[in-house]
Amino acid sequence: MTTTVVHCSDIHFGRGFLPECAEAFVATVKTLAPDAVVIAGDLTLRARRHQFHAARRWLERLERPLLVIPGNHDVPLYNLALRLLAPFRNYRMAIGVSTTQTLELPDAAVFGINSVTPFRHQQGRISDADMQQSMEWLDRVTAPWKVVVTHQHFYDLPGHRRPGAFPNASVLLEKWASRGVHAVLHGHTHYPSLMDARRLFPGLPRPLLLIGSGTLSNRRVRGPGMRTNSFQCLVFGSEMLSVTCHRWHAPTACWVADTTETFDRAFFASGV
The model's pLDDT over 13-30, given as tens digits with 9 standing for 90+, comes to 999 999 999 999 999 999
List of residues 6+ apart from 119 with CB closer than 8 A: 83, 84
C-beta of residue 58 within 8 angstroms of C-beta of residue 23 = no
What is the share, in percent, of the chain residues with pLDDT greater than 70? 98
Tens of pLDDT, residues 215-260: 999 999 987 777 899 999 999 999 999 999 999 999 999 999 999 9
Please report which helix (H) or strand (E) contains residue 236, including its range. Answer: strand 230-236
Work out how many domains the chain is built from and give that number. 1
Q: Is 270's pLDDT higher than 70?
A: no
Residue 157: what residue type?
L
User: What secondary structure letter does DSSP report for 225?
Assistant: S
Mean pLDDT in residue range 176-180: 95
Rg, the chain, Cα only: 17
C-beta of residue 69 within 8 angstroms of C-beta of residue 150 = yes
Q: Is 271's pLDDT higher than 60?
A: no
Domain boundaries, position 26: 3-268
Predicted structure pTM score: 0.95
- Here the CATH number for the domain that contains residue 165 is 3.60.21.10
More confident residue, 118 or 147: 147
